[in-house]
Amino acid sequence: MKKPIASLLFFLVINIAFAQEDAWVYLTDKPNVTASIANPISILSQKAIDRKQNHNVAIDERDVPVNESYISDLKNQSGIVVMAKSKWFNAIHVRGLEADISALINLDYVEYIDFANNNLNILSRGIANINKNHIEEETITFTYGETLNQVEMINADNLHDADYTGEGITIAVMDSGFPNVDTMGAFQRLRNNNNLLNGYDFVDRTTDVYAFTGSSHGTKVLSTMAGFVENQFVGTAPDAAYYLFRTEDSSAENPVEESYWVEAAERADSLGVDIINTSLGYTVFDNPNYNYTPADMNGQVAFITKGASIAAEKGILVVVSAGNSGSSSWQTVGAPADSPNVLSIAAVDADENYVAFSSQGSDAQVGYVKPDVAAKGGATSVVNQLNNIVQNNGTSFSAPVMCGGIASLWQAIPEASPTDIMDFVRQSASQFTTPDYFLGYGIPDLDLARTMALSIPEVLIEDFNIQPNPVRHELNLSIPSSVHRAEIVIYNQLGQLILNQTITEQSNIINVLDLAPGLYLLKISANKYSRTFKFIRSSN
């Protein structure tokens, strides 16, 4: 009688063992991908980086580690044992009962499940995954609620409907304070998607960027882009990733804040940020000896303006509030909105009319238009630090509304350069052919900008040319007939920016008589194409 009992127990153990299944759980995303690739030493050893460079092997998303919070959550699921992980496949090897593993498909961060027993994959990739896809499709359409007017005004809602919501774009927000962003309900979606990246307080020199420091301005600015309250509030780029940098000391007005801003811009550059939004502007200070004048707003004087221009040269698209001095004696845009290399955003009301406080362009901006474009800044819907939806006035809010829309646009045309994006935005605007000092080129239609970008004909870079070379007086620039406007920049041998100008088929001659004799570099950029030339300014 003992022998049959022993055999029964043996087979029972075997059956229980084989009731456990092994499977690979593939995840939807990874945290901080853009920033990690831009800063590879954070995810790879220097030796690994050197090896990849020596063999021309790209550092890509596969090198970024698996999201540890996903692993922790999987470990807490009923009946699941985590056995291994793979960053290359962005997958977790799990063990458990078939039913427990199959239930994982209902987790938001699970893309699909691949059982080691292939007979089970009909269920995993069929019924379960179809159900998941169905759920995802149902969540694409937004109900904007309070933000409907400001989103529709620039046609960002059409981009969202096409599933362009800023995903893959990283934005650095420079402002005066971001209290409660790490806990507020309006940013829960942002945190759940691991799109709230780390930040820094350059004023107090601390990583605690969420503490209250006298201002909640940054919290409200961020909400216009990243805020999400179901059926009540949707920002213009709810799925972009954000770094938060405090550079403004709300208790004082001192030029050191310009330096904080430049420090933050340098940090943003090193992190691989795509766009900077800054709803700040500098004109006069507590010490009147430091004051700028309206004539100084020429793109060449203010420290922060020169820093913003360098950020643009580094490949960052800089979006800036035009300022709120339109009805004051100052009147013109402040710094860094006066830089010809940034997008400066004016304010309109719900009826798309200019609001009197919005800073204007002036004769100080020679050869370029300021402000560039406009968005809703009169009674803009924002979320304050108490998690309440309110309305605020200011170009502080028209700028991030536009910035988020641009992030969604850029997701749709990822091959475009920052210069291309700015051109498409301007060209899509309501008064592109008749710009003025109030709204610049007008209110953009970002969906039209996408259409324009996707319909650009192929251009041969050989069609760009300059002559004569060497040149003494006037340099003639040739551009293809299909290109209506192009940006040119000239640098001297030291790499210093000498000239930044827009040219068209009708206005394509550059006067170089004021340049010192010597060698210069000239870069022509149009749409997604560019070409760089060397030319000599001769002395006779």
Q: For residue 12, is pLDDT > 50?
A: no
What pLDDT sits at residue 196? 97
The reply to whether 25 and 155 lie within a common domain is no
Average pLDDT over residues 121-145: 52
Catalytic position from the list 36, 63, 157, 175: 175
**DSSP characters for 376-430?**
E-SSEEEE-TTS-EEEE-SHHHHHHHHHHHHHHHHHHSTT--HHHHHHHHHHTST
Q: Does 92 map to a domain?
A: yes
Q: Would you state the pLDDT for residue 448?
A: 94
Q: For residue 320, what are the β-bridge partners?
A: 278, 344
Asked if residue 429 has pLDDT above 70, the reply is yes
70 or 5, greater pLDDT:
70
For residue 458, name the pLDDT band (cuts at 50, 70, 90).
low
Number of domains in the chain: 3
Q: Catalytic: 157? A: no
Q: Is the pLDDT of residue 3 over 50?
A: no
Mutual orientation of helices 395-412 and 217-226 as an angle, nearest 10°? 30
CB 343 within 8 A of CB 407: no
Q: What is the pLDDT of residues 382-395, one digit of tens each?
A: 999 999 999 999 99
If asked whether residues 250 and 295 sit together in one domain, one would say yes
Assess whether 396 carries a catalytic annotation: yes
Listed in sequence order, the residues at least 6 apart from 330 whose beta carbon sits closer than 8 Å to its beta carbon are 283, 284, 294, 359
Q: Rounded mean pLDDT of 292-299?
A: 96
Q: Per residue in 178-208, pLDDT tens?
A: 999 999 999 999 999 999 998 999 999 999 9
Same domain assignment for residues 261 and 150: yes
- In this prediction, residue 456 carries a pLDDT of 62
Q: Which uninterrupted H or E stretch holds 71? A: helix 68-75
Asked if the model's pLDDT at residue 129 lies above 50, the reply is: no
Q: Which of 437, 454, 471 is the C-terminal boundary of a domain?
A: 454
> 398 with 468, same domain?
no
Radius of gyration in angstroms for the set of CA atoms belonging to the chain, rounded to a whole number: 27
Residues 182 and 118 in one domain: no
Please name every residue paired with 244 in a beta bridge, in sequence order, or none if there are none. Answer: 173
Q: What CATH number has the domain bearing residue 130?
A: 3.30.70.250
What letter represents residue 3's amino acid?
K
Does residue 436 sit within a domain? yes
- Specify whether the CB–CB gap between 307 and 348 falls below 8 A: no
The token duo for 61 is: 């998303």
Average pLDDT over residues 59-82: 91
pLDDT for 508: 82
Q: Which residue range is the domain that position 243 belongs to? A: 145-454
For 347-381, the pLDDT digits (tens) are 999 999 999 999 999 999 998 999 999 999 999 99
Q: What is the pLDDT of residue 45?
A: 78
Check if 160 is active-site. Answer: no
Q: Residues 323, 338: contact at Cβ < 8 Å?
A: no
Task: Name residue 249's amino acid.
Answer: D
- Are residues 419 and 395 part of one domain? yes
519 and 488 in a single domain? The answer is yes
Check whether residue 82 and residue 215 sit in a common domain.
no
DSSP 121: H
Highest mean pLDDT among 4-18, 142-156, 420-434: 142-156
Cβ-contact 123, 54 below 8 angstroms: no
Asked whether the predicted pLDDT for residue 291 surpasses 80, the reply is yes
Q: Cα angle at 231 between 229 and 232, to 5 degrees?
A: 55
264 and 117 share one domain: no
Answer yes or no: is pLDDT of 499 > 60: yes
Tell which residue, 361, 261, 354, 363, has the closest CA to residue 302.
261
Give me 281's structure tokens: 């502007």
Closest CA to 174 of 265, 256, 255, 236: 265
Q: What is the secondary structure of 472-501 as a DSSP string?
A: SSEEEEE--TT--EEEEEEE-TT--EEEEE
H, E, C per residue of 15-59: HHHHHEEEEEEEECCCCCHHHHHHCHHHCCCHHHHHHHHHCCCCC
How much is the pTM? Answer: 0.65
Q: Please report the pLDDT score of residue 132 as a whole number.
A: 43
Mean of the per-residue pLDDT values of the chain: 87
How large is the average pLDDT for residues 217-223? 98
Q: Please check the confidence at residue 432 and state whether its pLDDT lies above 60.
A: yes
Q: Which of 121, 138, 155 is the last residue of a domain?
A: 138
Q: Is residue 54 part of a domain?
A: no
Which of 98, 121, 138 is the last residue before a domain boundary? Answer: 138
The CATH number for 332's domain is 3.40.50.200
Token readout for 122 is 């009909």
Question: What whole-number distance in Å separates Cα of residue 439 and Cα of residue 398?
Answer: 12
Question: pLDDT, tens digit, for every residue of 135-186?
Answer: 343 445 899 999 999 999 999 999 999 999 999 999 999 999 999 999 999 9
Confirm whether 422 is domain-assigned: yes
The one catalytic residue among 63, 215, 217, 428: 217
Residue 381 falls inside a structural domain: yes
115 & 190 share domain:
no
DSSP-derived letter for residue 515 is S
Tell me: do 432 and 495 sit in the same domain.
no
474 and 366 part of one domain: no
2-6, 73-77, 99-103, 426-430: lowest mean pLDDT where? Answer: 2-6
Rounded CA gap, 40 and 23, in Å?
A: 30
> Does residue 55 form part of some domain?
no
Question: How far lies 478's CA from each of 151, 461, 481, 491, in Å?
Answer: 39, 11, 9, 19
Burial class (CB in 10 A: 0-12, 13-18, 19+), 317: buried
**What pLDDT does 524 receive?**
83
Q: Residue 133 is encoded by which pair of tokens? A: 């896809």
Of 48-62, 100-114, 130-144, which one has max mean pLDDT? 100-114
**Sequence-separated (6 or more) residues with CB below 8 Å from residue 383:** 184, 186, 219, 220, 223, 227, 229, 233, 389, 390
Rounded mean pLDDT, 288-316: 93
**pLDDT over 90 (residue 92):** no
- How does residue 48 score in pLDDT terms, banded at 50, 70 and 90? low
**Bridge partners of residue 277, in order along the sequence:** 173, 319
* Cα-Cα-Cα-Cα dihedral sign, residues 11, 12, 14, 15: positive
pLDDT of residue 212: 94
Residue 388 located in a structural domain: yes
Q: Is residue 251 situated within a structural domain?
A: yes
Instruction: Point out the catalytic residue in the list 396, 398, 408, 428.
Output: 396
Residue 11 has pLDDT above 80, yes or no: no
